[in-house]
Amino acid sequence: MKPRQEHPQKEDDDLLPRQDTTQNLELRSKRTERQRRKREKKAGSLTRAASDTQLLLGLPVELLTAILELLRPSDLLALARTSRVLHGFIFANEADLARRVIRLRYPILEQCFLRPVLMRDIDAAIQPLLQGSYRADLAGIQQWPFARISIPSPDYALHCTCLTCLGRWNALCVVVDFAHWQDVLDNGEPIPDIAPGTSPKWNQDLLARTRRIVLAALTSPLRYARLLEVHLESTRRSVLRHSRNKTDRRPHYRMTTDMAETDAFLGQKGPPTVEFPYSREVYYLLEAFLPTRSWLTSQQRWGYIQRPDEWHQLDLDLLVRMVSLNRASQDAHVDQDSAATEGNRRC
């Protein structure tokens, strides 16, 4: 019998570290295939979107601006949310884009709804007078009933609250409030009534929303243009609503489908805005809320307020004179009291 032979090479191989050659099993199922195709489609769409954005931004600034000014303000705001690059471009050129869009679509509404002057654009010496706790020129206005129902309080630190600017603030707030109730008006439903001296939660939320929207429009030209777009849509719906009412024999604005994109149809003769909608009940009879204009019969056209900045400056001058008179009157009373006190001492 042969002796057993040793295999030193095999023993040395057993002492060497082993390599892990195991691999993950490839999962192949309908579910994993759908997920893979979905990821590839999403990656491809993102790549194409980035490529389209770069292609769009590669155009000359003048050509790109000429394209964007054809969009509605709501479309521009939606486009700005698609990418950081477009957001930066749109808001870097916000004032110019808004001016172009308004000139193309809302030149009439712009003359009817001016924005209050910002406080930063007012003389620093007059600003404390506008922010005082008591304003003699506003004593009567603060008692108006609609001021507590449909008009939120202004921001005294952000914008001017002279009589002219306060009227502009009220008009912009009506734009938001009137748009909120369009579905109710179209359906012929009653607007909820508010009992005197009460403030329901739903109306407080509505006032806060209105205030937030109007304040944003004061500092953002594009959001101001968006307000004009909203009011044009409200006016369009209101004109259609009143035109279909056979019992309403008042002259209405003639409007076709292709006219609804601009406010050009509001240049023709139609029902004027005689008074401010002091109550939401007036919304049922309100066809077109277009303040600060009147129909000139002799010229057969609408007339608008000329040089509106002068009216704002006149109100500021009036406020300064009123404050000066009040201070002079108070000083006179103080002098009289001092003289009476001194006379009593001598006696």
SS (H, E, C) 197-232: CCCCHHHHHHHHHHHHHHHHHHHCHHHHHHHHHHHH
Pick the most confident of 2-16, 89-103, 249-263.
89-103
Report yes or no on 25 lying in a domain.
no
Residue 255 has a pLDDT of 79
Report yes or no on 29 lying in a domain.
no
**Which H or E run contains 304?**
strand 301-304
**Side chain identity at 274, as an amino acid letter?**
V
Report yes or no on 17 lying in a domain.
no
Report yes or no on 291 lying in a domain.
yes
Report yes or no on 66 lying in a domain.
no
Confidence category of residue 246, pLDDT binned at 50, 70, 90: confident
Residue 248 has a pLDDT of 74
Containing structural domain, residue 185: 106-311
More confident site: 344 or 160: 160
Range of weakest confidence among 81-90, 156-165, 247-256? 247-256
Confidence category of residue 184, pLDDT binned at 50, 70, 90: very high
Give the mean pLDDT of 183-204. 90
Report yes or no on 71 lying in a domain.
no
The 10s digit of each residue's pLDDT in 281-324 is 889 988 899 998 998 989 999 999 888 889 999 989 988 888 88
Map residue 27 onto helix, strand or coil: coil
Residue 85 has a pLDDT of 86
**Cβ(168)–Cβ(311) below 8 Å:** no
Report yes or no on 330 lying in a domain.
no
Residues contacting 98, CB < 8 A, separation 6+: 73, 221, 222, 224, 225
**Radius of gyration of the chain from Cα atoms?**
34
More confident site: 134 or 67: 67
0.75 cut: is pTM over it? yes
Residue 255, both tokens: 């409007």
Q: What is the mean pLDDT of the chain?
A: 82
**Cβ(97)–Cβ(252) below 8 Å:** no
The count of domains in the chain is 1
The 10s digit of each residue's pLDDT in 33-76 is 777 777 777 666 555 555 656 777 778 888 889 999 999 999 99
Residue 306 has a pLDDT of 85
Closest CA to 293 of 153, 125, 111, 126: 111
Checking if the pLDDT of 157 tops 60, the result is yes
Exposure string of 18-36, with b = 16+ CB inside 10 Å and e = fewer, is eeeeeeeeeeeeeeeeeee
Report yes or no on 257 lying in a domain.
yes
Alpha helices in the chain (DSSP H): 8-15, 30-57, 61-68, 73-80, 84-92, 94-105, 107-112, 127-130, 163-180, 182-186, 201-219, 221-243, 308-346
Q: In degrees to the nearest 10, what's the CA dihedral of 80, 85, 90, 92?
A: 140
Confidence category of residue 343, pLDDT binned at 50, 70, 90: low
